[in-house]
Amino acid sequence: MFFEGSEKKVEVVMTSSSDSLRSLDKVFWEKLVSLSNAEILSSVHNEQCDAYLLSESSLFVWHDRFLMMTCGNSTLVNSLLSFIEKVGVVNIQSIKYQRNKEYLGYLQTSSFTEDIEQLKQIVDGKAYRIGHLDMHHHHVFYYGNGLVEDSISSELLMYHISGNAAAYLRSDSQKKADIRTLLQLDTLFPDFAIDDHLFEPLGYSINGLKKDKYFTIHITPQESSSYVSLETNLDINAYQSGLFIRLLDILKPGSWDTISMNTQVEKQALVDSYCIGSCELFLNQGKEIAVKQYQQPWHKHLFAEQI
């Protein structure tokens, strides 16, 4: 029943003189996605963005950038290497390749270290590990060529979900509409065009799109290794204070991390939780990545699972 929910992620921003990425046809993106051992399941579009739901997470394509995230034992670095080769590094303004610590890293095709060994052969970026090697930690590889327009992103990564919502997400006869209601998505993300998918035997993904803004949620509900991620480029503090808190309240994770790029998610912690990790990293051109890790007091009650 094990599935690695933890995502690898890449954002590539093109130079202003490059052709629009949206002029590339669907076959181009299908091939790129296939190099990660994933496929396009469905999509939703508006005047600014194409959002693809993948068999392993999501792909968003704007005129000047794309964001791809893949979970499971996907090989996202291969998609990235192929993209760089196809468009030429000279047309790329910045690359941000990120990888969270996986639940079971030894099942992955490559380590982050191996990924960046390949990347560094063609782009002169810097790589960091944020966090202790024996705890949750986050890897980032960053390449920037000149001034890149600031982008904002906020991530909420939840581990070991519990309670009624978790029980429903592990049950047999789920419905997409019921999951949307459970997550209060109508209230949290009104007026977003959405595209969602229920996986067999378990798992749920949703992309939401509104003008140039997106949100994406991926749920791996399996016991012992449950993981739910939310990512958005909404400025969540300006947009809807307490967005993270609402989701934490619904999904009741034992622990969670927040990762924010050029924004603050300070006010998004539950009052009675421990902060067990905190770091700010400044990349070049003032770009800031902040990582915070929280644990519920009750999460210390470990269990012995027979294996």
Q: Give the count of beta carbons closer than 10 Å to the beta carbon of residue 92.
A: 20
Q: Least distance in Å: CB of 298 to its own copies?
A: 11
Q: How far is the CB of 184 from its own copies (least distance, A)?
A: 26
Residue 41 CB burial class (10 angstroms; 0-12, 13-18, ≥19):
middle
Q: How far is the CB of 225 from its own copies (least distance, A)?
A: 5
What is the spatial distance between Cα 157 and Cα 231, in angstroms, rounded to a whole number? 9
- Tokens standing for residue 247: 């989701």
Token digits for 181? 């209601």
Residue type, 269: A
User: Closer to its own copies at the Cβ: 184 or 297?
Assistant: 297
| 101/213 with CB nearer its own copies | 101
Torsion of CA 182, 276, 102, 99, to 10 degrees: 90
- Residues forming the site for its own copies (CB under 8 A): 101, 103-106, 108, 111, 113, 116, 126-137, 139, 159-160, 224-225, 254-255, 274-279, 281, 291, 293, 295, 299-307
Return the amino acid letter for 108. Q
Beta strand 49-54 pairing with 138-144: unpaired
Comparison of 133 and 238: residue with beta carbon closer to its own copies? 133
Q: Which is nearer to its own copies, 134 or 191 (CB)?
A: 134
Q: How far is the CB of 9 from its own copies (least distance, A)?
A: 17
State phi, psi for 283 to the nearest 5 degrees: -85, 180
Strand, coil or helix: 130: strand
Closest CB 49 distance from its own copies, rounded Å: 30
Which of residues 27 and 133 has its CB atom nearest to its own copies in the complex? Answer: 133
